[in-house]
Homo-oligomer: A and B are copies of this chain.
């Protein structure tokens, strides 16, 4: 029923030596045992693999075919174990990384990935860029191993672990040709009459609510005239002159042409970005990535 590695090894040895007797010597077992094992193998395969003649045995055509397969199976079985061991040691493996779209090209991330690859060339990465709402969910699902995201406060006994990465501040993004560019607003309340653009709430409800709450506290009820699905589409709408938005300061690395960032005194939203993962994810790659990206800060 099942292919036994021992039998394959017996068969390969017999075929190599062309003789049951010599193979038995080499394998340190008695010749009749080999004879039986060979018969069992042939029965499980379904066709004779060796021709028995007076001077020994020779491979049948089917035997030649099976011999090639057997050698490969034996090699592959050894490789499978070796690969598993190396995976356990963290020398090879895969790390699925979710990341807020805005940080996908952040130099700190890029440096960490680069260093990781230098230290362990066997590691492969998948980077998924998305907005905060989805990213945490995919870590919980187990679709990705780690994420850089705004998670809000985490329960200590929850399934997720996190360490702080950076704390991003928010700036106002305006078009260079707009009135806001010529007469920069001093406070958020000055923006009440401006056309406002924001990402859709369903993409990252937590962040959306946090921003809106902050605006209200400082006397701003933004007139949202347009919504984008991502930071970049939102900034694209700003570049098109359709209004202004707030955006993480990290976005300054990739601003569309015509858009500039303006600091507003009471826009002091601080968004802590965490590196999060499931506590029960046993991948040995995770602590190393944490170290690389966040140094040796204490876990949050």
Contact = CB atoms under 8 A, between A and B. Distances in A.
A84 B72 contact: no
A63 interface: yes
A42 to B, nearest CB: 9
Given A2-B5, A5-B2, A5-B4, A66 B80 contact: yes
Contacts of A133: none
Interface residues of A, number: 46
B70 A87 contact: no
Interface stretch (A45-53, A175-183, A237-245): A45-53
A76 B75 CA distance: 12
A185 B284 CA distance: 88
A46 to B, nearest CB: 5
A283 interface: yes
- Residue in A63, A77, A282 whose Cβ sees the most chain B Cβ within 10 Å: A77
A83 interface: yes
A65 interface: yes
Contact of A62 (B66, B87, B280): B87
Tell which of A88, A280, A283 has the most Cβ of chain B within 10 Å.
Answer: A88
Contacts of A252: none
B69 A87 contact: no
A98 interface: no
A47 B88 contact: yes
Interface in A1-20: 1-6, 8-9
A85 interface: yes
> DSSP majority for the A interface?
helix
Contact of A51 (B70, B73, B282): B282
A229 to B, nearest CB: 32
Contact of A65 (B2, B8, B84): B84
Interface in A72-100: 72-73, 76-77, 79-81, 83-85, 87-88, 90, 92-93
A26 to B, nearest CB: 15
Nearest to A48: B88
A192 interface: no
A7 to B, nearest CB: 8
Nearest to A41: B81
19 contacts: A2-B4, A2-B8, A3-B81, A4-B4, A46-B81, A47-B85, A47-B88, A51-B282, A58-B280, A60-B88, A60-B282, A61-B87, A61-B93, A61-B282, A61-B285, A62-B85, A66-B80, A73-B73, A73-B80
